[in-house]
Chains A and B, each alone.
Chain A
Amino acid sequence: MLVTRNLQWRLTARDASLDSGLMRGTFKPGTSVEDGLSALTDLRGALSAISDCVFVRQSVTIAQSQQPKEPPSGATRASQVGAFFFAGELPDRFGLARVPGIPATYTVDSDCGAGIVIEASDPTVAALIDEVTSGIWCNPFGTPLVSFVSAYIREES
């Protein structure tokens, strides 16, 4: 079961030499994202009056943790990552989702991609692909991901 913690906030400040520092804290239970961002904007006003740094970023985070924690379902290491490439709805816009702990059993077993290329027609793989291309997920620039391109396994340190 996922347990939701109180909404968390962060403010990032930058000094004259462009080094950055963080302030962080927590909001009261039930605070919405919108109210949190609005409160941070007000807080920045008060902070700017007592700090020589300039505030350049603010964020709020909804954090949830699994309680109790479930054990991993298999022996595949987290460093064995499945890299899934998706095409955006705009031309030449793509997105990458990297999923750790992908067993080699999901790779094709023939041709030059054997052991590396992930079999997109596998029902479990297809379920993930369908969800990522459902319309809500996008790349970091806001372009919705609409179709699957390719996927392969790689080792990451």
Chain B
Amino acid sequence: MAFTNKPTAQLTYVLVDNSGSRSTVVFHVPFATLAAVALAAADTLMAALGALSDCSVVSRSLTYTQVDNAPVAAAAGSRIEEKGVFVFNLANGLKTRFEVPGVKDSILLQSGTIDRANILVAAFVTAVTDVGTIFAGVDGSDITSLDSAYQRFRGSTVNMLPSDRRAI
């Protein structure tokens, strides 16, 4: 139930060679390392990498991850493919959307629309749109209101199909 920090934050460089092939270089810093400190060290490391490798660095990322090492079981019958799609309006006139996996049937209307009057749905919408929230569109624009919400199914991958599905 409790989320814990991974031991380290992960720094990943993406490099490209002159054929366009990409590869990555991964380093780790202790999780408690401030991002500014890690990125300053990453600058020095990038210079050393650039001098040594014939590839060029095109991007880098620093990721801090928390995990639940003893999660409770998901509800019986829940499926990742069953999405609750929430489309939000942004302050700049564009839209952004979140796809909630395994959306509960109890918040759906018969048409497949998500019941916007449902108190649990309203709480989620408020968590995303309320004044002071820090969630945003990809360009950083404020999320202002809910545009639409509906159920949608994504195709299962082969690995998601039941392992006992075959007749023989």
Contact B65 A73 (CB under 8 A): no
Asked if A91 is at the interface of the complex by the 8 Å CB criterion, the answer is: no
Q: List 10 A-B contacts (CB under 8 A).
A: A25-B98, A26-B140, A41-B3, A46-B120, A49-B120, A52-B102, A76-B55, A98-B25, A100-B24, A140-B10
Flag A72-98 by CB within 8 Å of B: 1 or 0 each: 111111110110000000000001011
- Complex Cα spacing A7 to B74, Å: 29
- Complex Cα spacing A26 to B38, Å: 21
Asked if A127 is at the interface of the complex by the 8 Å CB criterion, the answer is: yes
Cβ of A73 to closest chain B Cβ, rounded Å: 6
Contact B15 A101 (CB under 8 A): yes
Residue tally, chain A, CB below 8 Å to B: 87
Flag A26-70 by CB within 8 Å of B: 1 or 0 each: 111101110111010111011101111111111111111110011
Asked if A2 is at the interface of the complex by the 8 Å CB criterion, the answer is: yes
Q: Which residues of A contact B139 (CB under 8 A)?
A: 6, 26
Q: Which of B136-161 contact A (CB under 8 A)?
A: 136-140, 142, 159-160
Interface residues of chain B: helix, strand, loop or mixed (majority)? mixed
Q: Which residues of B contact A76 (CB under 8 A)?
A: 17, 53-55
- Complex Cα spacing A59 to B72, Å: 19
Interface residues of chain A: helix, strand, loop or mixed (majority)? mixed
- Complex Cα spacing A70 to B46, Å: 13
* Residue from A39, A124, A127, A131 within 8 A of B133 (CB atoms): A39
CB nearest neighbor in A for B70: A56
Contact B135 A27 (CB under 8 A): yes
Q: Which residues of B contact A56 (CB under 8 A)?
A: 67-68, 71
* Residue from B8, B21, B22, B99 within 8 A of A138 (CB atoms): B8
